[in-house]
């Protein structure tokens, strides 16, 4: 692994928050193990191994019942580690893959059979090389026939340029980590309000209210991110999902305690109904409808 790589927390605390029955960790990854599933040649980072067994043990320890595993960029377009984890989990996991324009419908249908329900389009420059928008649009046309959706990852400063493209996408869109706002600017800043408006004007756009550990400036327990998550949950209770982001790729400031992250959920949800929608009803509708 990279010399400055931070390994996931070895013994997270037991959350104080009791999760509702059927709670879904809707954003997490598997890395390798590399001797079984080698990392991609063109990757931008080399992580520690963090395989499916560790992920499923964490799921049980924290009180989740299901996972949505998102293909990590260190595996490129080689979805074998993801597919292996989905097969091992049976009905308890769904997946988001990364594919190229040459993907065939037969390959997509095979992934659908093991639980893949969408693809991720990544615009974060430190993670991936640029992909032309036409390529993404071509992939979108293919995957929409399976009823899949698209997860998009971008940074706040890129939203303005991306908006016309996002509006062209023909499926549900799930935005990672609330579009990565600069939390020092506050909820009312035009940049975050642009994201709020995007969701308000486009009913197919959902948000993961995830990754306070990435967005924070003040550190755990992430007080400076709460207003952002709470605002999105309050305004769009039926279009939000949440996940741990285990094993937390590319964390540099600190490695979060996953139990502390779960407790953060209770601070961005104001009612039991919001909690139930965020952790159960919404991810089940999006990922387990078929
Ligand atoms: C995240 C965030 C990051 C990395 C990846 O696939 C990935 O490599 O998603 C990041 O570095 O910000 O969502 O896990």
- Each residue's pLDDT, cut to its tens digit, for the chain (290 residues) gives 999 999 999 999 999 999 999 999 999 999 999 999 999 999 999 999 999 999 999 999 999 999 999 999 999 999 999 999 999 999 999 999 999 999 999 999 999 999 999 999 999 999 999 999 999 999 999 999 999 999 999 999 999 999 999 999 999 999 999 999 999 999 999 999 999 999 999 999 999 999 999 999 999 999 999 999 999 999 999 999 999 999 999 999 999 999 999 999 999 999 999 999 999 999 999 999 97
Look at residue 13 and tell me if it is in a domain: no
CATH number of 188's domain: 3.20.20.140
Look at residue 227 and tell me if it is in a domain: yes
Look at residue 273 and tell me if it is in a domain: yes
**Spatial distance between the Cα atoms of 278 and 241, rounded to a whole number of angstroms:** 5
In which domain, by residue range, is 35 found? 24-287
Look at residue 7 and tell me if it is in a domain: no
Query: From the alpha carbon of 120, which atom of ligand 1 is closest?
Result: 6
Decide the pairing of beta strands 205-208 and 173-175.
parallel
Q: Find out whether 145 and 104 touch, Cβ atoms under 8 Å.
A: no
| Alpha carbon of 249 to ligand 1 centroid (Å) | 6
Cβ burial of 244 (10 Å; 0-12, 13-18, 19+) is: buried
Amino acid 290: pLDDT: 76
Residues identified as active-site: 245
| Alpha carbon of 177 to ligand 1 centroid (Å) | 10
**Spatial distance between the Cα atoms of 144 and 169, rounded to a whole number of angstroms:** 9
Q: How many domains does the chain have?
A: 1
Q: Name which residue sits closest to atom 8 of ligand 1, judged by CA.
A: 73
| Alpha carbon of 90 to ligand 1 centroid (Å) | 24
Does residue 72's CB lie within 6 angstroms of at least one atom of ligand 1? yes
**Of the residues 71, 208, 249, which should be mutated to test ligand 1's pocket, given the most ligand atoms within 8 Å of the CB?**
249
**DSSP alpha helix (H) spans, 151-222:** 159-168, 190-201, 212-215
């Amino acid at each position: 692994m990279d010399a400055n790589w931070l390994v996931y927390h070895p013994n997270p605390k037991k959350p104080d928050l009791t999760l509702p029955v059927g709670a879904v960790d809707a954003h997490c990854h598997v890395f390798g193990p590399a001797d079984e599933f080698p990392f991609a040649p063109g990757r931008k980072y080399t992580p520690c191994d963090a395989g499916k067994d560790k992920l499923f043990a964490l799921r049980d320890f924290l009180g989740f019942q299901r996972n949505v595993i998102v293909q990590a960029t260190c595996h490129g377009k080689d979805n074998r580690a993801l597919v292996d984890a989905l097969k091992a989990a049976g009905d308890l996991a769904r997946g988001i893959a990364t594919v190229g324009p040459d993907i065939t419908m037969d390959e997509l249908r095979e992934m659908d059979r093991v639980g893949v329900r969408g693809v991720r389009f990544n615009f974060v420059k430190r993670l991936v090389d640029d992909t032309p928008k036409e390529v993404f649009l071509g992939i979108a046309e293919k995957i929409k026939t399976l009823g899949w959706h698209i997860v998009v990852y971008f940074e706040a400063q890129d939203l303005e340029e991306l908006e016309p493209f996002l509006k062209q996408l023909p499926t549900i869109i799930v935005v990672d980590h609330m579009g990565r706002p600069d939390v020092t600017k506050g909820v009312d800043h035009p940049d975050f309000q642009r994201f709020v408006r995007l969701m308000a004007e486009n009913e197919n756009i959902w948000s993961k209210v995830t990754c306070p550990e990435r967005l924070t400036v003040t550190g755990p327990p992430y007080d400076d991110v709460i207003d952002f998550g709470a605002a999105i949950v309050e305004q769009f209770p039926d279009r939000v999902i949440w996940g741990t982001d285990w094993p937390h790729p590319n964390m540099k400031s600190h490695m979060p305690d996953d139990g502390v992250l779960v407790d953060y959920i209770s601070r961005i949800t104001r009612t039991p109904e919001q909690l139930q929608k965020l952790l159960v009803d919404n991810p089940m509708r999006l990922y387990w409808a078929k």
